[in-house]
Structure 1
Amino acid sequence: MAEQRYVYTTHATEARGRKMGNIESVINEYASEGWRLSETLERDGTTIGMVFEREV
């Protein structure tokens, strides 16, 4: 079986006061370019970034 290979990119999120930016639109934008949300990065219970992957 061939090994799958991926490339990764990250997107930092910005909290404005107690509101987050529109995460859904960011995910949809990356998805339209072939990226898949792989993981979220959190600090103190707040999402501070997202990791996206796609096959090479």
Structure 2
Amino acid sequence: MAEQKYVYTTHATEADPRKLDSIESVVNEHAREGWRFVDTLEKDGTTVGLVFEQER
């Protein structure tokens, strides 16, 4: 079995368009820690989370 190349983490978001600045700061904070934004988690068409990956 191959060794896992990436690890993943998620961050819950609020469905409030007025909080886009806070989402941007979350993405930037994760990027400074070496995480790369890769996808969103959605429920009923609303983004409820962000998915980040990092090489092991």
Q: Which band: TM-score by shorter chain?
A: 0.7 to 0.9
Alignment RMSD, CA only? 1.7
Structure 2 residues without counterparts, runs of 5 or longer: none
Distance 1:4 1:11 in 2: 21
Secondary structure of the 2:28 match is helix
Residue matched to 1:25 = 25
Residue matched to 2:35 = 35
Higher strand share: 1
Query: After TM superposition, where is structure 1 displaced by more than 3 Å over at least 4 residues in a row?
Result: none
In structure 2, give the amino acid aligned to 1:5: K
Distance 1:20 1:48 in 2: 15
Give 1:15 deviation, angstroms.
2.6
Higher helix share: 2
Give 1:12 deviation, angstroms.
0.5
Q: How many residues align?
A: 52
Distance 2:40 2:34 in 1: 18
- Are 2:46 and 1:46 aligned? yes
